[in-house]
Structure 1
């Protein structure tokens, strides 16, 4: 009989290098389940609660609090320790009245505590298409899709959402609250590469054959210049960020 599906197990030495796990402590580590992120760009919820946040000490404690519905991800109760967590996800612990935004930090991910005023999501427009009924479908980061009923999606005046723009939405990703265009002067966050976690004002875009591979230059918050590719930037504000960052209160 043929093997069905992919490998459900993951050895620690095969885990992505940026995962916060000790390679020689034991043989196995929880593998993120299929979901909105790939295993190379996400962390299983177990590692976020145990290794990043220090809320639990082991898998048993993690399963206990998850089974008691004490953890919410993007406004929805999650009970699976292998649930994938990625950049810009919102973790909530209602019993503590605490909320955290997952952000890139020092080449890995970090859970940054936020105030109630920041209880929204920033989703990047990965691509878009016109579907049956002349509706515009926006395919967003985090596995979110939106269908917009526009009079004429092919009219540039109606189709204002560009690829790699960011949308400020409610926690469930159902309602658009604001639209942040990717443009010179926008405040952006680097989400991958050696400059992951850096942020600043987008100053220059050097076009390439493939748009996502275009070279960009960013004036960082410390005054330095960062060079990366367009695919690695995430719009988080116009002239100033609308979110707070790790270590910034």
Structure 2
């Protein structure tokens, strides 16, 4: 397998310019699959905190850059949807959130909100010993004794320190959701209707918002809460709507410039 990543072939979610250079850094093994953005891309190309891979490695070795509460030493570590990135020395905190067009963007958050992260339940299964395992969208596994209240497509808020469940949001009509892929990526609305498709086809979700709403497939929506929206949104806390629902780069020398 190649150690190089051409810019023209990176996933649509990567926030990189495709025609400025031929190659970019390749994501390493880790969460989020092929859509995960290498941490170096965010540090260098998005935030501008480093100018090269060498600088990124130096910064990471200071243990002052945390992802979901853990110090990261690999600049190729994949970063994806809803990850929390903390710069402890700068006292800056960001949540990775889908932007218009499906690109991942960094949303500034308060330090108090950086202690936990959101995850969508992709799978639920019973494991050896009788407990149940909930697998989230980023590959995180959470064990619970009783999984009767949890279902696939629900969302959980996970504490970054002890990995415990802080909150649970049910996927149902009336739930606040955001689209994370497709032409409506980044849109937020309340589920108006979930149309179940017979057979192997995807279920359809209709959501309403102040712009008239949107329609997308079930796989593209994630249940969130009002903390994920702007203060002036109709879904912000205190509004009527909220009250109703409680690789290495190819050229090392060029990369170091």
Alignment deviations for residues 198-248 of structure 1 (CA, whole Å, 9 cap, x no partner): 11111111111358811111112x3311010111000002xxx23345997
Residue of structure 1 equivalent to 2:218: 230
Aligned length: 232
Q: Does 1:148 align with 2:136?
A: no
8 Å Cα contact 1:211-1:230 kept in structure 2: no
Which of 228, 242, 253 matches 1:243? 228
Residues 1:124 and 1:46: Cα distance change in structure 2 (over 3 Å): same
Higher normalized contact order (CA 8 Å, seq sep 6+, divided by chain length)? 2
TM-score (normalizing by structure 1): 0.86
Alignment deviations for residues 34-80 of structure 1 (CA, whole Å, 9 cap, x no partner): 111112x2211011112222222332322221122221100000011
Report deviation, 1:124. Answer: 0.9
- Aligned counterparts of 1:245 and 1:33: Cα–Cα separation in 2: 33
Report deviation, 1:18. Answer: 4.4
Residue of structure 1 equivalent to 2:191: 202
8 Å Cα contact 2:91-2:111 kept in structure 1: no
Residue of structure 2 equivalent to 1:118: 113
Unaligned runs of 5+ in 1: 1-5, 151-157
Residue of structure 1 equivalent to 2:3: 8
After the TM superposition, which segments of 4 or more aligned residues of structure 1 sit over 6 Å from their partners? 246-249
8 Å Cα contact 2:15-2:105 kept in structure 1: no
Residues 1:116 and 1:35: Cα distance change in structure 2 (over 3 Å): same
Look up the SS of the partner of 2:50 in the other structure. Answer: coil
Report deviation, 1:192. Answer: 0.7
Q: Does 1:20 align with 2:15?
A: yes
Look up the SS of the partner of 1:242 in the other structure. Answer: helix
Which of 95, 101, 126 matches 1:130? 126
Report deviation, 1:31. Answer: 1.1
Mean Cα displacement is larger for which, 115-124 or 6-15?
Answer: 6-15
Name the one with the larger helix percent: 2
Look up the SS of the partner of 1:16 in the other structure. Answer: coil
Residue of structure 2 equivalent to 1:30: 25
State how 1:47-196 maps to structure 2 within 5 Å: 47-107=41-101, 108-119=103-114, 120-150=116-146, 159-172=148-161, 174-196=163-185
- The alignment yields a C-alpha RMSD, in angstroms, of 2.2
